[in-house]
Amino acid sequence: MAKIIAICKSEQKGTSKNPVDAGELKVNCGLVGDAHAGGEDRAREISLLAIESIEKMNRTGFDFHAGDFAENLTTSGIELVSLPVGTNMKVGNDVVLQVTQIGKKCHTGCAVFKQAGKCIMPKEGIFALVVTGGLVRPEDEIIVLL
C-alpha cells in the first residue's frame, strides 16, 4: 500500500523541513504554514519524495530523515518518478493532487548538497498542485487515479 510517511514544513525557504502531526493542503496555496505556501508557482505547490530514495542516500553513509530534502510529503510504496505529469493521486479521504513536474533544477547551495555533494530531489522528487484540498496525516493512503 502506498502511503504518507511524513508531512513536513518550514518557516523559511532553502532549509530542511520539520515533520508535523498533520497538514492542511489548500487549493492555490499548498501546505498551509509552509514557507512555499501561496507562492507564484502553482505547479510546485507540493513537493513529494519517497522514503525509499532517502534510504538509498543513507546506504551511502548518510543519516537523512523525512524533511531533510525540503519535501512536503514523504511517501512510501509508490515510485513517484514513474508517474506521468498530469497524474492525479488521492491522498487520505479528501485530498487530490496532480503531478506537474518530475525532478527539478539543482541549486548547489542547498544544505544536502553541501553535506553530501549530491542531492536526490532533482531526479527523484516530484511536484504537484492541489486539486482538492483537505487534511493529511502520516499513514494516509495514496491511490493513483486513472
- What is the tens place of the pLDDT at every residue in 47-76? 999 999 999 989 988 888 999 888 999 999
Return all residues near 61 (Cβ < 8 A) that are at least 6 apart.
none
Average pLDDT of the residues in 9-29: 93
Could you tell me which CATH number the domain at 3-145 has?
2.40.33.20
Residue 81 has pLDDT above 80, yes or no: yes
- Look up cell 543519516; give the residue: 63
6 close to 17: Cβ distance less than 8 angstroms? no
Amino acid at 84: P
- Supply the pTM of this predicted model: 0.91
97 close to 91: Cβ distance less than 8 angstroms? yes
- What is the tens place of the pLDDT at every residue in 85-133? 999 999 999 999 999 999 866 655 556 555 555 566 668 889 999 999 9
Predicted confidence band of residue 80 (pLDDT cuts 50, 70, 90): very high
What are the boundaries of each domain within the chain? 3-145
85 close to 96: Cβ distance less than 8 angstroms? no
Nearest to 6 by CA among 128, 133, 140: 140
To which H or E segment does residue 115 belong? helix 111-116
